[in-house]
Amino acid sequence: MRSLKKRVAARDNNCCYVCGREAEEGEVFDLEHKRPISLGGSPDDMDNLGLICPEDHEIKSKAEAAAANRRRARQRD
């Protein structure tokens, strides 16, 4: 996974794919699936991978969790 993250970081100039912010020295962005695997995203397709800053990662994770909760609620109805 480390080599994949390095390839994505080099491709994206070590920038967050959401906001475009470049990582500051010593800051580490997460490797993220742009489209979640659970929703059909490819786990290792370079087009589905990007670096994401901690702030955007938190926002995206909360939004994905809320969407999953809504899907589960609809399935129960």
Kindly tell me the sign of the dihedral angle through the C-alpha atoms of 6, 10, 17, 58: positive
Provide the pLDDT confidence category of residue 2 given band limits of 50, 70 and 90: confident
The SS3 call for residue 52 is: strand
29 close to 7: Cβ distance less than 8 angstroms = no
Q: Is the pLDDT of residue 1 over 70?
A: no
pLDDT tens-place string over residues 19-77: 999 999 999 999 999 999 988 999 989 999 999 999 999 999 999 999 989 988 988 87
- Residue-level pLDDT at 76: 82
Who has greater pLDDT, 74 or 11? 11
Provide the pLDDT confidence category of residue 5 given band limits of 50, 70 and 90: very high
CA atoms within 13 A on the CB side of 1: 8
Looking at the DSSP bridge assignments, the partners of residue 49 are: 33
